[in-house]
Amino acid sequence: MDMDAFSAVHAPDWQRVDELSAQRRLSGEEADELLRLYRRTSAHLSTIRSVAPEGALSAALSMRLSRARTRFTGARSNFLEDLVSFFVYALPAGFYRVRWLTLAVGAAFILTAWLAGMWAASTPAVISAALGSDTQIQQYVEQDFVSYYSENPAASFAGQVWTNNAWIALQAVAFGITGIWGPFILYQNAVNVGIAGGTMAVYGQLDVFFTYILPHGLMELTAVFIAVAAGLRIFWAWVAPGRQTRSAAVAAEGRSLFTVALGLVIVLFLSGLVEGFVTPSPLPAWLRLAIGAALFCAYWVYTLVLGSRAYRAGHRGDLSRRDSADVLRTA
């Protein structure tokens, strides 16, 4: 289909939709005309989407119809309905889209952390450069590593951790278009975790390291992996936009994957609660690890089960069908 010719033929109808939507008052005849044009333009949008579902023209018609729909419905949609749609469709679909890249980013993190840990364990100068004198290293291994999780009240510590990690995740997504910021965050965290693990291993405290890092770390680090993966997807949309313009491709990915960033705020809130209340608690080590593993497994079940269903239904974490004007609500 020749999109330019299609646009030229139907442009007068679309412009009339804009004119009627912009009027403060509509007569009975004008309201009937707007409804007819709305239906006609919706059919045009369906035709265009069958050829170029994520093109600039499709996005422009969606916004045009969204404005027109507001004249009939008033409020955009029900808040509770939007909330359900976000958690059942948009968010799991967004997580599902980056699942493989999340795993790849996680594998890169683990490899980097392991190499950093081996380097620290085999090179005493690395530990000294990172932690200081022998006395300071000994204090870190025997006291500071564990006391870090309990030196502040659990609630304030959980809030501090949540705020810090959520900010890092949002940066990884928002600045992902650079292609540099996300990998830098990943590398920096991997090296820090690796050196800490290597130091604890040298002093025979590797079991303590994993007991305190895994309950919250399983989900917390996964959230970082997801954020970096989402940022890289935006970067790749800029590098290889396909048939779309570069700006349209980046805009589509940005809308979809910023949904992921908002979801990560919630995920990191849960991992912050675990870090603040479970990690330093007197619970048996196996129970603390089990709680962290349960949260981790719950995320992947949510992503793979709900996410795959939402993805197969056509959701990508972008605007809902109602927001894209596929559906006209009349009541």
**pLDDT digit string (tens) for 86-101?**
898 889 999 999 999 9
Burial class of 172 by CB neighbour count within 10 A (0 to 12, 13 to 18, 19+) = buried
pLDDT > 70? residue 53: no
Which pLDDT band holds residue 331 (cuts at 50, 70, 90)? very low
What count of other Cβ atoms lies within 10 Å of the Cβ of residue 134? 11
CA dihedral (273, 279, 285, 290) positive or negative: positive
Give pLDDT tens digits for 225-238.
Answer: 999 998 898 898 88
pLDDT > 70? residue 147: yes
List the structure tokens of 62.
């969606």
What angle in degrees, to the nearest 10, is found between the helix axes of 285-301 and 246-273?
150
- Give the H or E element holding residue 17: helix 3-22
pTM of the full structure: 0.72
Give pLDDT tens digits for 236-279.
Answer: 888 888 777 888 778 777 777 778 888 898 999 999 999 999 99
Mean pLDDT of the chain: 84
Q: What is the pLDDT of residue 325?
A: 42
Residues 294-310, mean pLDDT to the nearest whole number: 95
Q: How many Å apart are CA 246 and CA 257, to the nearest integer? A: 16
Look at 43-57, 182-196, 240-254 and tell me which has the smallest mean pLDDT.
Answer: 43-57
DSSP letter at 49 equals H
Q: How many Å apart are CA 63 and CA 35, to the nearest integer? A: 16
Q: What is the pLDDT of residue 77?
A: 53
List the structure tokens of 125.
């100068």
User: How many Å is the Cα radius of gyration of the chain?
Assistant: 25
**Number of H-type helices and E-type strands within the chain:** 15, 0
Residues 119-146, mean pLDDT to the nearest whole number: 89
DSSP letter at 205 equals -
Q: How many Å apart are CA 289 and CA 294, to the nearest integer? A: 9
Residues 35-55, mean pLDDT to the nearest whole number: 78
Residues 122-133, mean pLDDT to the nearest whole number: 88
pLDDT > 60? residue 330: no
